[in-house]
Structure 1
């Protein structure tokens, strides 16, 4: 089998793996803060043997870099709190499609704070994506305030992960992906742990089924999904992976139909199609313009 075929198979495995993230969350009865905390901390435990070999890189980090790492982890923790919480109130379709607005928020922030160029063709993609988003939100308004609150939480998750990526943009120039992810995951997990303690949420009193789901969230969408994507970046163009990741909401919607019995309305379907097409066009134009690939870190948040 040719190397290109193996990479495409690996890409398909990664998209399928991340698509299961929303399903595991829906299956769980645990609070969003607990789900996010154990997903991150279990991932940290699984990564520790590899990170131990790279510990000298952590010793060389400056005080400013540590401060930025803590800030990045803080917003990643807020991302998990918002997005995972959204799945308690709205459908998998609405939550996943709205979450994919993250790359657009990243580039808006890059334009405002880093003065990165944004071509007018990319703005067309943004407008198409936001039109699709408005259709989904309009549909959820009819379903009641609960679904709309879930939409808000998903958009909050997209915004906070965008801040997390913008902070990490310069850090990733000098810090390897594994070391960066390891430290940020620890900080985000501790942020969620603090939130759970302050909120009075139990940390340990969960049945074996829940612990199995916590572990599955760490292994399937994180290890076989996001970390696999980052390994593939050595061999596959970033734009290929970015566009492939747009298959995550599609995969999650299909899985939700068969495993959760969630149906997609016509308006949700059309809005989701417009949103995904708009984001794909936006990424394609941005890549052609040579703008920095700040969404690469987006892969670790879904």
Structure 2
């Protein structure tokens, strides 16, 4: 983890990423296409946009180990499952309910980081995490339904949260030696293949959609994927997966507000209050995580898997 080489304050790219991913649920709600088709074209269009920036790095894939190949495959598969579960949940429940459950991600990341990397979190940072999660709960509390349809959507959102936590932890490990753009390109490609197999196996049509649908697929690629997921993958070189997942707690705030303005979904006083609490908890967590990092000795830099200079992330 190379925190000290980031030339701009970390909150700037974090805010950009939060705003970008907040639009994801709006675009998904707008589309009538199956979520597996939305996810596939979302990532396929992203790959096309990334290719001019990554093609010179493709040769590096020849040097990776079988262990790293397996990790890339798992990361891409988990990402596809995340989109499938979470985007599917948006078809069954409200934006607030789905994004609130997605905000449980830091819990799974923190547990996974401790098991996989023995990565500890300070008590102060844990307090910030708990405060932010409580605020997120306030946002979605009034919308969490008790109908079978809402319960199914809630379960899908939880499953999506678990698998994206696994995806981020694998990314944290691989990005110690991988250029960020190459890592993102590789896992997106794997996820597109997984979606393609899924659609073909279930007989889901991958063509014949309206111009409006293709426009939504493109928006999903540009806004929440490039300026959201790709940006967060880049930041994993400088901050922990737990920090990124905490930043994503800002998504319920942005997504709920956008749903109120654009989709006419109701927004209660507790949800407004919860948004303020989320931001306060997020700020407290990030401040204490940074203090903990600065007070710790720098970790030894691992030797890259390939010779020659590595390409900077982003």
What is the aligned partner in structure 1 of residue 305 from structure 2? none
- Once the two structures are superposed, residues 206-255 of structure 1 have per-residue CA deviations (whole angstroms, 9 ceiling, x without a partner) of 22211111111111222234445666889x98899877654433222222
Deviates more, 1:125-134 or 1:38-47: 125-134
- Unaligned runs of at least 5 residues, structure 1: 293-302
In the aligned structure 1, how far is the partner of 2:289 from the partner of 2:189?
Answer: 32
- Once the two structures are superposed, residues 165-199 of structure 1 have per-residue CA deviations (whole angstroms, 9 ceiling, x without a partner) of 12222211111111111110011111122222222
Matched, 1:154 2:161: no
* Cα distance, 1:129 vs structure 2: 4.4
Residue aligned with 1:107, SS:
helix
In the aligned structure 1, how far is the partner of 2:244 from the partner of 2:122?
Answer: 21
Q: TM-score, normalised by structure 1?
A: 0.81
Residue aligned with 2:175, SS:
helix
Matched, 1:181 2:184: yes
What is the aligned partner in structure 2 of residue 84 from structure 1? 87
What is the aligned partner in structure 2 of residue 222 from structure 1? 225
Q: Is the 8 A contact 1:242 1:283 kept in 2?
A: no
In the aligned structure 1, how far is the partner of 2:140 from the partner of 2:20?
Answer: 27
Residue aligned with 1:175, SS:
coil
What is the aligned partner in structure 2 of residue 168 from structure 1? 171
Q: Cα–Cα, structure 1 residues 216 and 30, in superposed 2: closer, same or farther, change >3 Å?
A: same
Q: What is the number of equivalent residue pairs in this alignment?
A: 287
- Unaligned runs of at least 5 residues, structure 2: 1-6, 299-314
* Cα distance, 1:54 vs structure 2: 1.2
CA RMSD in angstroms comes to: 3.3
What is the aligned partner in structure 2 of residue 18 from structure 1? 21
In the aligned structure 2, how far is the partner of 1:121 from the partner of 1:4?
Answer: 24
Q: TM-score, normalised by structure 2?
A: 0.78
Q: Is the 8 A contact 2:106 2:245 kept in 1?
A: no
In the aligned structure 2, how far is the partner of 1:116 from the partner of 1:36?
Answer: 32
Q: Cα–Cα, structure 1 residues 278 and 181, in superposed 2: closer, same or farther, change >3 Å?
A: same
Q: Cα–Cα, structure 1 residues 105 and 244, in superposed 2: closer, same or farther, change >3 Å?
A: closer
